């Protein structure tokens, strides 16, 4: 062997060694390239804190069986860093465990670090303390913000690296995301926005993950970051460089439910159609947002008025069960697409018109041929002639022919739905109750000011609740005392719910909604001669998660607060002395825990409170046999929060009845989130998921806090079958 050949062999074996072991993810104009191979990747969002670690393996396996290659998740900053520098990566926030489980199942991960994530998650994922960093402004060219964002992003990247989780290290993460849908914000704020985009991209790329970064809805994503599409349809999307692949990071499988809103649905046919259309137009990565939506446990839901259920009409329902016919219909779609993969990655499609509203997209190479035949008409069936064949196409549908001859799938032909039932397993609980008094300004820990304060500024989101308390003095010579016309109290609030107590009696409740969180209480109130105690309980229902500088949005009673109909005319109470108390008494006593609940006297038997405001209820129950998912039917309750064995299953608000316009889903054609909405006239959410793994085989405690009045005897534990 000559010197040259010897070198060649060494180089080759070096390459075999290095190239064989070192994995890589790159991309070109067609697709993400994994270890030298272009891939058509089907992805689905499963957000780890929206289910329990015990549910993860099953969800991931079902995703795999459903034909997914990738699991996509956001990273939830406020769950991981509840106070500055104090990190939490356990239980539902055990990100490393989640990623490793995906790896064990043989799937890839798309890690959307954000750290702004939107996601109907409290404060869009930002920790509340971030708002109070001096000089900070979120998501713009602001030094304190950029420093905090970089610190957390780097923290996550190094955690992933330490665990060798990037594909470049042999792990499952093939892609990451920085920011989230920043394009529209940048468009609104201009130059500082542009500078921030550049900085964010550079900062992310500088973290050297060895796998590509994407920015969704970011038309000016700086190279090498890939801009991607989000929406119900993305067939016409084009990345900002012809060297980047056409990717869809959020194909909305339904939509979220808000308290007071109808329950959105998206037909499986339309969802499949949108995917097939994207792929035939050269798309190579599709992610279902959500594949499993899950539950907003505790106080994690944000965006204002977002329900505790985040079911999303996803292919796997909130409880992890298959949502049919959607799950199966997509599974078959994925099979058909996978059969086409060799042709899809090899060449760009040739488009043929087959008549009015009829098209074929043909991917043909010497070795492979795949065709998609589409009927875009929303009403009429069509017969298309393609090659030597005749093809029948339902309206708004695409047929897939992995060999350019045989139809293996049509997006409009779905299987049967499954009937799901909520069957009561226990509805005879022995309830005990405890009524808490409206707070009083004489309480030691109340604070006072001659002003109305913004709510989150005071609570720092440690509780949904803030008491505003003041005194109203009424003279014996007030005219209304004789003429029987009680004065009108008006209180204006930036949101989100307000309970008004006068002399400890509930005088009324008002609330806003997703479209407008602001509210005004205005009603005649009963006042007596002398001092009257006015206590306003202001309730936040999640912090905002979206909008330009959403961190500046206010909540709480900002005023004015006035009393009209006195001898003096209208009395403005806004700048008199107000006392504040953060949270409920029951919260500070931890009544939801076993040790805390023994600190008060509970009422039992026939005297248990019903339809009373500010009532805590507790009971115990044993876990039903079997593995069927469980829920609480809270249809008889108003609003509040529920705990099982000390853990919050979320806010309940079945008292908010879905209004607006409802529409069944018998629809073929352009879909928007307002198209199919169900449940009008019913509670937006009646059932609340109780994770099996939170129960023990012995006795389990159930605690309900009710704000304005409910009947606990109507509560049932149900199983979903």
- Closest chain position to ligand GAL (CB): 118
- Looking up tokens 């008006």 gives 490
Return the number of other C-beta atoms located less than 10 Å from residue 528's C-beta.
Answer: 11
Compare residues 179 and 706 and give the one whose CB is closer to ligand GAL: 179
Active site (annotated) includes residue 181: yes
Give the shortest CB-310-to-ligand GAL separation in angstroms: 9
Phi, psi of 571 (to 5 degrees): -100, 125
Cβ atoms of 116 and 544 closer than 8 Å: no
CB of 229 to ligand GAL, least distance (A): 11
b (16+ CB within 10 A) / e for 162-181: ebebbbbbebbbbbbbbbbb
State whether residue 488 is helix, strand or coil: strand
Catalytic residue among 250, 324, 341, 359: 250
Backbone angles phi, psi at 92, to 5 degrees: -70, -10
Closest separation between CB of residue 304 and ligand GAL, Å?
13
Which is closer to ligand GAL, CB of 81 or CB of 258?
258
- Find out whether 74 and 230 touch, Cβ atoms under 8 Å: no
If the CB atoms of residues 120 and 707 are measured against ligand GAL, the closer one turns out to be 120
Judged by the rule CB under 6 A, the positions of this chain that interact with ligand GAL are: 117-120, 180-181, 230, 250, 256
Pick the catalytic residue from 181, 436, 454, 478. 181
**Tokens representing 196?**
């921030």
**Can you name the residues that pair with 114 across neighbouring β-strands?**
178
Q: Is 310 exposed, middle or buried (0-12, 13-18, 19+ CB in 10 A)?
A: buried
Q: Which is nearer to ligand GAL, 196 or 386 (CB)?
A: 196
Task: Select 119 or 173, whichever has its Cβ closest to ligand GAL.
Answer: 119
Q: Nearer to ligand GAL by C-beta: 120 or 377?
A: 120
For residue 219, indicate whether it is catalytic: no
Q: How far is the CB of 354 from ligand GAL (least distance, A)?
A: 35
Which residues have a Cβ under 8 Å from the Cβ of 715 and sit 6 or more positions away? Answer: 427, 429, 632, 633, 634, 636, 637, 704
Cis amide linkage into residue 677, ω under 30° from 0: no
How far is it between the farthest Cα atoms of the chain? 118
- From the CB of 212, what's the least distance to ligand GAL, in Å? 19
Measured at the CA of 597, the angle between CA 592 and CA 601, to 5 degrees, comes to: 135
Helices (H), 560-622: 585-588, 594-597
The answer to whether the bond into 560 is cis (omega within 30° of 0) is yes
CB of 73 to ligand GAL, least distance (A): 11
Q: Which of 615, 609, 464, 611 is nearest to 537 (CA)?
A: 464
Q: Which is nearer to ligand GAL, 181 or 436 (CB)?
A: 181
In the complex, the smallest distance separating the C-beta of residue 180 from ligand GAL, rounded to whole angstroms, is 5
What is the smallest separation between the CB atom of 375 and ligand GAL, expressed in angstroms?
29
Torsion of CA 537, 682, 124, 558, to 10 degrees: -30
The alpha carbons of the chain give a radius of gyration, in whole angstroms, of 29
The Cα-based distances of 383 to 304, 362, 374, 393, 411 in angstroms read 48, 18, 11, 6, 16
By beta-carbon proximity to ligand GAL, the closer residue of 256 and 616 is 256
Question: How many CB atoms neighbour CB 597 within 10 A?
Answer: 20
- Catalytically active residues are 181, 250
């Amino acid at each position: 062997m000559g010197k040259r050949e010897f070198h060649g062999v060494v180089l080759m074996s070096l390459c075999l060694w290095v190239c064989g072991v070192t994995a890589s993810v790159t991309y070109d104009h067609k697709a993400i390239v994994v270890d030298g191979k272009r891939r058509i990747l089907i992805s689905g969002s499963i957000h780890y804190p929206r289910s329990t670690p015990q549910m993860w393996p099953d969800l991931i396996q079902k995703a795999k069986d459903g034909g997914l290659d990738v699991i996509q998740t956001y990273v939830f900053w406020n769950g991981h860093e509840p106070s500055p520098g104090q990190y939490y990566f356990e239980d539902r926030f055990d990100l490393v465990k989640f990623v490793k489980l995906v790896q064990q199942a043989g799937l890839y991960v798309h890690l959307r670090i954000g750290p702004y994530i939107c996601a109907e998650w409290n404060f869009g994922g930002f920790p509340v303390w971030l708002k109070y960093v001096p000089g900070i402004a979120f998501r713009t060219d602001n030094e304190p913000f950029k420093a905090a964002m970089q610190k957390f992003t780097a923290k996550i990247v190094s955690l992933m690296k330490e665990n060798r989780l990037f594909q470049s290290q042999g792990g499952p993460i093939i892609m990451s995301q920085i920011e989230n849908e920043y394009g529209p914000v940048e468009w609104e704020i201009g130059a500082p926005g542009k500078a921030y985009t550049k900085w964010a991209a550079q900062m992310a790329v500088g973290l050297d993950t060895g796998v590509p970064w994407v920015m969704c809805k970011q038309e000016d994503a700086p190279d090498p970051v890939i801009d991607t599409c989000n929406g119900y349809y993305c067939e016409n999307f084009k990345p900002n460089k012809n060297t980047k692949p056409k990717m869809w990071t959020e194909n909305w499988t339904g939509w979220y439910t808000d308290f007071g809103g109808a329950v959105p649905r998206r037909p499986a046919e339309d969802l499949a159609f949108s995917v097939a259309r994207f792929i035939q137009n050269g798309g190579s990565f599709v992610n279902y947002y959500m594949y499993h939506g899950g539950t907003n446990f505790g106080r994690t839901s944000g965006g204002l008025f977002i329900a505790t259920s985040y079911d999303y009409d996803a292919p796997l329902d909130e409880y992890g069960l298959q949502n049919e016919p959607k799950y199966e219909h997509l599974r078959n779609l994925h099979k058909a697409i996978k059969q086409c993969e060799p042709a899809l990655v090899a060449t760009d499609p040739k488009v043929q018109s087959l008549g009015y509203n009829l098209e074929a997209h043909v991917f043909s190479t010497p070795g492979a041929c795949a065709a998609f035949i589409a009927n875009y008409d929303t009403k009429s069936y069509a017969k298309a002639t393609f090659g030597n064949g005749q093809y029948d196409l339902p309206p708004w549908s695409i047929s897939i022919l992995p060999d350019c001859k045989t139809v293996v799938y049509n997006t409009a032909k779905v299987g049967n739905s499954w009937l799901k039932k909520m069957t009561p397993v226990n509805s005879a609980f022995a309830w005990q109750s405890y009524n808490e008094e409206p707070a009083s300004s004489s309480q030691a820990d109340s604070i006072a000011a001659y002003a109305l304060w913004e709510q989150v500024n005071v609570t720092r989101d440690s509780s949904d609740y803030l008491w505003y308390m003041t005194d109203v003095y009424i003279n014996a010579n007030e005219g209304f005392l004789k003429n029987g016309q009680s004065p009108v109290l008006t209180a204006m609030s930036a949101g989100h719910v307000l309970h008004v107590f006068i002399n400890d009696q509930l005088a009324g409740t008002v609330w806003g909604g997703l479209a407008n969180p602001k509210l005004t209480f205005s009603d005649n109130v009963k006042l007596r001669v002398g001092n009257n105690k006015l206590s306003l309980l202001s309730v936040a229902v999640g912090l905002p998660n979206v909008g330009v500088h959403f961190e500046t949005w206010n909540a709480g009673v900002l005023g004015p607060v006035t009393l009209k109909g006195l001898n003096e005319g209208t009395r403005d109470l806004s700048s008199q002395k107000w006392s504040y108390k953060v949270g409920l008494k029951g919260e500070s006593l931890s009544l939801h825990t076993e040790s805390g609940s023994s600190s008060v006297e509970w009422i039992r038997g026939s005297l248990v409170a019903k339809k009373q405001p500010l009532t805590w209820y507790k009971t115990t129950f044993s876990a039903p046999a079997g593995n069927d998912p469980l829920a609480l039917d809270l249809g008889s309750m108003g609003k509040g929060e529920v705990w099982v064995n000390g853990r919050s299953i979320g806010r309940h608000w079945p008292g908010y009845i879905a209004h607006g316009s409802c529409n069944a889903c018998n629809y073929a054609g352009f879909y928007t989130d307002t198209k199919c909405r169900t449940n009008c006239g019913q509670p937006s959410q009646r059932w609340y998921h109780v994770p099996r793994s939170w129960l023990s085989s012995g006795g389990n405690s159930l605690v309900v806090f009710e704000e304005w009045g409910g009947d606990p005897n109507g509560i049932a534990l149900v199983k979903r079958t």
